Structure 1
Amino acid sequence: MRRIIDQKVLFRDLAKPWLGPLLSLMALFLLGACGYRITEGWDWGDCLWMVLITISTIGFGEVEPLSAAGRVVTILIIGGGLVVVQLTLQRFIRLFESGYFRRMSELRFRRRLRSMEDHVILCGFGRIGKEIAEELQYEGVQVLIVEANESSQKAAEAKGFNVLLADATLDETLILAGIQKCRSLVVTLPSDAANLYVVLSARGLNSQCRLIARAESEEAANKLKLAGASVVVSPYVAAGRTMAATALRPIAVDFLDLLAGSQCEIEEFLLSSDLNKFKHLNNPTLAGLELGSKSGAMVLAIRDGTSLNTNPSGDVEIGPGQLLIALGSKNQLLALRRLLEDVLSNVGRVKY
Structure 2
Amino acid sequence: MPKPFRSIVPRRPPSRRARKSWRAPLSLAMLVNAGAIGYHLSEGWDWGDCYWMVLITLSTLGFSDGDTQTLSASGRVVTTLLILGGLVVVQISIQAVLGLSESGYFRRLRERRFRSWLSTMHNHVILCGYGRIGREIAEQLARENVPLLVVEMDAERREAAEERGLAVLMADATLDETLLDAGIHRCRALVAALPNNASNLYVVLSARGMAPNCRLIARSDSEEAERKLRLAGADQVVSPYVSGGRTMAATALRPLAVTFMDLLAGSGCEVEEFLLSSDPADLGSLNGASLAELQLGSRSGALVLAIVPPQPAANDVQRQYRGSQYSQQRPELLANPGSDTRLAPGQMLVVMGSQEQLDLFTRLLGTALKSVDVMST
TM-score by length of 2: 0.77
Report the counterpart of residue 42 of structure 2 in structure 1. Answer: 39
Residues of 2 paired with 1:199 and 1:333: CA distance?
A: 31
Residues of 2 paired with 1:49 and 1:263: CA distance?
A: 65
Give the alignment's Cα RMSD to 1 decimal.
3.6
Other structure's SS at 1:115 match? coil
CA drift of 1:230 comes to: 0.5
Residues of 1 paired with 2:267 and 2:23: CA distance?
A: 57
Other structure's SS at 1:279 match? helix
1:306-348 alpha-carbon deviations (Å, 9 max, x no partner)? 4644445677664432212223455654554344342222x57
Residues of 2 paired with 1:179 and 1:58: CA distance?
A: 60
1:39-63 alpha-carbon deviations (Å, 9 max, x no partner)? 1223445544554565565989767
Residues of 2 paired with 1:204 and 1:282: CA distance?
A: 31
Greater mean deviation of Cα atoms: 102-111 or 240-249: 102-111
1:13-34 alpha-carbon deviations (Å, 9 max, x no partner)? 7973553133113212321221
Is the 2:18–2:100 Cα contact (8 Å) retained in structure 1?
Answer: no
Greater mean deviation of Cα atoms: 199-208 or 272-281: 272-281
With a CA cutoff of 8 Å and minimum separation of 6, indicate the structure with the bigger relative contact order: 2
Residues of 2 paired with 1:314 and 1:13: CA distance?
A: 73
Other structure's SS at 2:369 match? coil
CA drift of 1:279 comes to: 3.2
Residues of 1 paired with 2:67 and 2:43: CA distance?
A: 10
Cα 1:18–1:258, aligned 2, differ >3 Å: closer, same or farther?
farther
Report the counterpart of residue 20 of structure 1 in structure 2. Answer: 23
Residues of 2 paired with 1:18 and 1:331: CA distance?
A: 59
Is the 1:40–1:66 Cα contact (8 Å) retained in structure 2?
Answer: no
Question: Aligned partner of 1:36: which letter?
Answer: Y
Cα 1:42–1:183, aligned 2, differ >3 Å: closer, same or farther?
same
More helix by share: 1
Question: Aligned partner of 1:109: which letter?
Answer: F
Is the 2:184–2:211 Cα contact (8 Å) retained in structure 1?
Answer: yes
Identity of paired residues, percent?
56
Report the counterpart of residue 320 of structure 1 in structure 2. Answer: 345
Q: How does 1:1-352 map to 2 (within 5 A)?
A: 10=13, 16-44=19-47, 46-48=49-51, 50-52=53-55, 55=58, 57=61, 65-68=69-72, 69-260=74-265, 264-279=269-284, 297-305=302-310, 306=331, 308-312=333-337, 318-329=343-354, 333-334=358-359, 336-345=361-370, 349=373, 351-352=375-376
Residues of 1 paired with 2:18 and 2:290: CA distance?
A: 61
Residues of 1 paired with 2:48 and 2:285: CA distance?
A: 71
CA drift of 1:143 comes to: 1.7
Report the counterpart of residue 3 of structure 1 in structure 2. Answer: none
Is the 1:50–1:62 Cα contact (8 Å) retained in structure 2?
Answer: no
Cα 1:36–1:237, aligned 2, differ >3 Å: closer, same or farther?
same
Question: Aligned partner of 2:40: which letter?
Answer: R
Question: Aligned partner of 2:157: which letter?
Answer: S
Question: Which ranges of structure 2 fall in alignment gaps of 5 or more residues?
Answer: 1-9, 311-330
Greater mean deviation of Cα atoms: 285-294 or 222-231: 285-294
TM-score by length of 1: 0.82
CA drift of 1:206 comes to: 0.7
Cα 1:261–1:45, aligned 2, differ >3 Å: closer, same or farther?
same
Cα 1:26–1:321, aligned 2, differ >3 Å: closer, same or farther?
same
Is the 1:283–1:289 Cα contact (8 Å) retained in structure 2?
Answer: no
Question: Which ranges of structure 1 fall in alignment gaps of 5 or more residues?
Answer: 1-5
Other structure's SS at 1:169 match? coil
Residues of 2 paired with 1:129 and 1:259: CA distance?
A: 24
CA drift of 1:179 comes to: 1.2
Cα 1:66–1:314, aligned 2, differ >3 Å: closer, same or farther?
farther
Cα 1:43–1:156, aligned 2, differ >3 Å: closer, same or farther?
same
Cα 1:157–1:341, aligned 2, differ >3 Å: closer, same or farther?
same
Is the 2:288–2:343 Cα contact (8 Å) retained in structure 1?
Answer: no
Number of residue pairs matched by the alignment: 345
Residues of 1 paired with 2:363 and 2:282: CA distance?
A: 15
